[in-house]
């Protein structure tokens, strides 16, 4: 279980997170929604060790993560699918997946996982030798998810996986997120597409300018009038 307590992160003098506390219990899908600049990505990047916290703690299974660098955080089974996919464009699909397994040394296990990911995303197998930069947006997102899965994470964090994708592809991505979760991986999902994200979430948090505004189960928030107005585009009657 990942616990974040009173986390403050600042870029220069400006605080992007102003004291955030969330819980991510094992085996669930937890969603963070919020507008641009709410601090969603910052939270994920800080958990990943890409940004340093100013104060507050992040613990995973009662072990503090704040002082670790990304390499050690990946070793503990946490991984990030970064915003905007960030696949390696001039490497082949297969090489991308292999980089994802960088910290693992068991060759047989890696080969097995590549096979598993190709079963999950048959489109990637067809494009095995293609440069990742030549894939379509949806395929790139699948690759980014596949790449993150290659380190056998216990907790996978996804930063806006639906960004810039067609509605049909978004549906496919969310279906896959649920499948990954059913296979036993905890998912921490950051989304602007609140409607889809809340539907799959066990629990959700609403972020607003660096603070938690609201929390509840996905269903509760979907039916909340304020949320409807602010994020789901439905007018208050």
Partner 1 sequence: MLTVVALIVLFGLSCFVQGEVDAYIRRIVNLCLIYAIIGLSMNITNGFAGQFSLGQAGFMAIGAYMVGIFTVPVNLRADVFYAVPMNPHLVNIYMPLWLALIMGGILAALVAGLIGTPVLRLRGDYLAIATLGFSEIIRIIITNANTITNGALGIKNIPSLNDVRYIFLATAVSYILMTLLLSSSYGRAFKAIREDEIAAEAMGINLFHHKNLAFMVSAFFAGIGGGLYGALLGTVDPKNFLFTLTYNFLLIIVLGGMGSVTGSMLGAVIVTAGLEYLRVFDEPLEIMGVAIPLFRPGLRMVVFSVLLMVCVLFWRHGIMGTNEFTWDKLINFLKHPKFGRKKEVQRK
Contacting positions for partner 1 (CB under 8 A)? 48, 50, 69-71, 73-75, 79-80, 82, 86-91, 95, 98-100, 102-103, 127-130, 147, 151
Backbone dihedral angles phi then psi of residue 138, each to the nearest 5 degrees:
-65, -45
Q: What angle do CA 92, 81, 8 make, to 5 degrees?
A: 145
Cα 147 from chain centre: 13
* Of 61 and 134, CB closest to partner 1: 134
Q: How far is the CB of 182 from partner 1 (least distance, A)?
A: 24
Other Cβ atoms closer than 10 A to 131: 16
Q: What angle do CA 213, 215, 220 make, to 5 degrees?
A: 125
* Of 50 and 163, CB closest to partner 1: 50
State whether residue 16 is helix, strand or coil: strand
Q: How far is the CB of 231 from partner 1 (least distance, A)?
A: 27
List the structure tokens of 88.
């390696």
Task: Say what angle helices 107-120 and 167-182 make with each other, to 10 degrees.
Answer: 140
Cα 7 from chain centre: 18
Q: How far is the CB of 71 from partner 1 (least distance, A)?
A: 5
* Of 75 and 182, CB closest to partner 1: 75
Q: How far is the CB of 108 from partner 1 (least distance, A)?
A: 15
Q: Alpha helix locations (H) across 127-193?
A: 137-149, 167-182
Q: How far is the CB of 95 from partner 1 (least distance, A)?
A: 6
Q: How far is the CB of 154 from partner 1 (least distance, A)?
A: 14
Contact in structure between 122 and 130 (CB atoms under 8 Å): no
Strand (E) or helix (H) holding 225: helix 225-231
DSSP for 161-174 reads TTTT--HHHHHHHH
* Of 4 and 206, CB closest to partner 1: 4
* Of 89 and 109, CB closest to partner 1: 89
* Of 64 and 75, CB closest to partner 1: 75
């Amino acid at each position: 279980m990942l616990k974040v307590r009173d986390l403050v992160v600042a870029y220069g003098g400006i605080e992007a997170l102003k004291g955030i506390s969330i819980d991510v219990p094992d085996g669930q899908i937890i969603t963070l929604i919020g507008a641009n600049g709410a601090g969603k990505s910052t939270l994920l990047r800080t958990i990943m060790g890409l940004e340093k916290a100013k104060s507050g703690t992040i613990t995973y299974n009662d072990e503090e993560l704040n002082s670790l660098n990304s390499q050690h955080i990946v070793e503990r089974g946490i991984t990030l699918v970064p915003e905007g996919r960030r696949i390696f464009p001039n490497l082949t699909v297969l090489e991308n997946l292999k980089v994802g397994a960088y910290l693992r040394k068991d060759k047989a296990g890696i080969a097995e996982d590549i096979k598993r990911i190709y079963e999950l995303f048959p489109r990637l197998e067809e494009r095995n030798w293609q440069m990742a930069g030549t894939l379509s947006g949806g395929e790139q997102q699948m690759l980014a998810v596949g790449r993150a899965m290659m380190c056998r994470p216990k907790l996978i964090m996804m930063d806006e996986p639906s960004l810039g994708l067609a509605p049909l592809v978004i549906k496919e991505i969310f279906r896959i997120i649920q499948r990954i979760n059913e296979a036993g991986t905890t998912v921490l999902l950051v989304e602007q597409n609140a409607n889809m994200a809340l539907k799959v979430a066990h629990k959700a948090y609403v972020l607003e300018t660096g603070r938690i505004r609201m929390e509840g189960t996905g269903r509760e928030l979907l039916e909340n009038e304020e949320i409807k107005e602010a994020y789901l585009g439905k007018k208050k009657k």
